[in-house]
Amino acid sequence: MSAAAPIIVVGGGIAGLATALAAAPAPVLLLTRAPGAKGVASAMAQGGIAAAIAEGDTPAAHAHDTCVAGSHHNDARIVELLTSSAGEAVQWLQAIGVAFDRHPDGRLQFGREGGHDRPRIVHAGGDATGARVMEALVAAARAAAHITRQAGVEVDGLLMRDGQVCGVCMTDAEGRRSVVHGRAVVLATGGIGGLFAQTSNPADADGSGLALAQAVGVRLRDLEFVQFHPTALALPGVHSLPLVTEALRGAGATLRDSLGRALMADVHPLGDLAPRDTVARRVFQACQDGGALLDASVVGADFPKRFPTVFHACMDHGIDPRVQPIPVTPAAHFHMGGIDVDADGRSSIAGLYAVGEVACNGVHGANRLASNSLLEGVVFGRRLGAILRGLPPPYDQPDANAAQIVLHPESLAEGDLIALRAVLMQTMGPLRCQAGLKEGRRACAAFNGWQATLAGALLDAATARRESLGAHFRVQE
């Protein structure tokens, strides 16, 4: 293998781009399904970035809220690393061109979201933080001489040699398959929301990277913990739903049932800003009983300026959120589980690393705290990139006969995929029961495709955890 063998990064979201940029000057090959930020969940993130940088706030307070939201299933050491690095992460993003919202006097604006005991969320463009951060990262990556970007490819296999990962197999839009050897492979492929009937993620967030790792026997962790955002815009029959940001509730919006009664009254001390798992279960039940609504009229005339993404999504569907309640429903939003990695992104197989939502280093525990995901991608992506840039390149020539290509199984047909999504939403949604989980597992056995294999692993993990914990909530039977 030549001295120029690249670090291969699979995925073009915030975690993948942060990793690629931090790996300079080592050569990086960035592989994505779509150009730019298309199909990337990071670009859809309406929440901001949690950082304890306001006066009177501390990383320890941020860490406390993170662990409370995660039901103390978190790795405390990793949480401390995240929260203590948040200020530096915000500074780095500003340095590459992210303009966070500020008061007229120049001070950063801080919002408050569910699970936080005080305002500590920085935003860019109101509810368009993910898009603004992605714009800056994509521009920086395009300007970086050490990064070669190849879009429109599906990474559907890993190369194995002597028990370690040494490259990838990919298929382009014309169906041509090729292999690329590298000094390291980083999976930054995002989450699994696309495997559920209702999700706030793009459909491409389908667990493909997790399935690749599963195929080569990488150790996985905490697969049962799937966070459902309590407030996606309820649009019957639509798979990928517009998100209705939690920051609206931070600004005073109130959840109500179909009769106008406050949903979170006497449910949790933080009311509408309770941790997401608590709110999602309450909203889910209200939807079963006739519907759930978010009354955001308190925002008033400032709605288009403060929350432009939500405003336009509502108006596009005939809802004026300044004066009308917004119909909402829970939607699969974030996977706390994933490829088991350490603080440096190393998996259980040499040569394979993971970062962002596809990875699980224990930082989120059983339930992610609001606005910690973009922060996670930046902090651990930059950390991983810095480690990988120091890897010595392998100097032996690649031997195609010595490397084994491990492909994940064929993909499900569209009709079967739609059916599988319905099964997961019904059996692994905000409320779960033993009988439903077992029925879901039996249903998965009827499908033949990598999505079904992955879904089976999710259901097995949920079945094995008999007690409720965080986002994994078991109803009494």
Which residues are catalytically annotated?
Answer: 276
CA dihedral angle for residue 211, residue 78, residue 432, residue 206, rounded to 10 degrees: -30
CA distances from 131 to 98, 151, 458 (A): 10, 19, 30
Element (H or E) spanning 279, and its range? helix 276-288
Exposure on the CB side of residue 450, measured as CA atoms within 13 A: 20
In 128-159, which positions are buried (b, 16+ CB within 10 angstroms) versus exposed (e)? bbbbbbbbbbbebbeebebbebeeebbbbbbb
- Enumerate residues 6+ apart whose C-beta is below 8 A from 312: none
DSSP code at position 199: B
Of 188, 205, 208, the residue nearest 196 (C-alpha): 205
Rounded distance between C-alpha atoms, residue 375 and residue 380, angstroms = 8
User: What is d(CA 349, CA 213) in angstroms, rounded to the nearest whole number?
Assistant: 9
Residue 81 one-letter amino acid: L
As a whole number of angstroms, the distance between CA 283 and CA 151 comes to 38
Q: How far apart are CA 270 and CA 423, in angstroms?
A: 32
The number of residues in the chain equals 477
User: What is 282-348 written as a DSSP string?
Assistant: HHHHHHHTT-EEEE-GGGGGGHHHHSHHHHHHHHHTT--TTTSPEEEEEEEEEES-EEE--TT-B-S
71: its two tokens: 């039901």
Between CA 458 and CA 360 the distance in angstroms is 14
First to last CA, the chain: 58
Whether the bond between 119 and the residue before it is cis, its omega within 30 degrees of 0, is no
Backbone angles phi, psi at 161, to 5 degrees: -145, 125
How many Å apart are CA 278 and CA 280, to the nearest integer?
6
Type of residue at 92: W
Looking up tokens 């929350």, which residue turns up?
A: 307
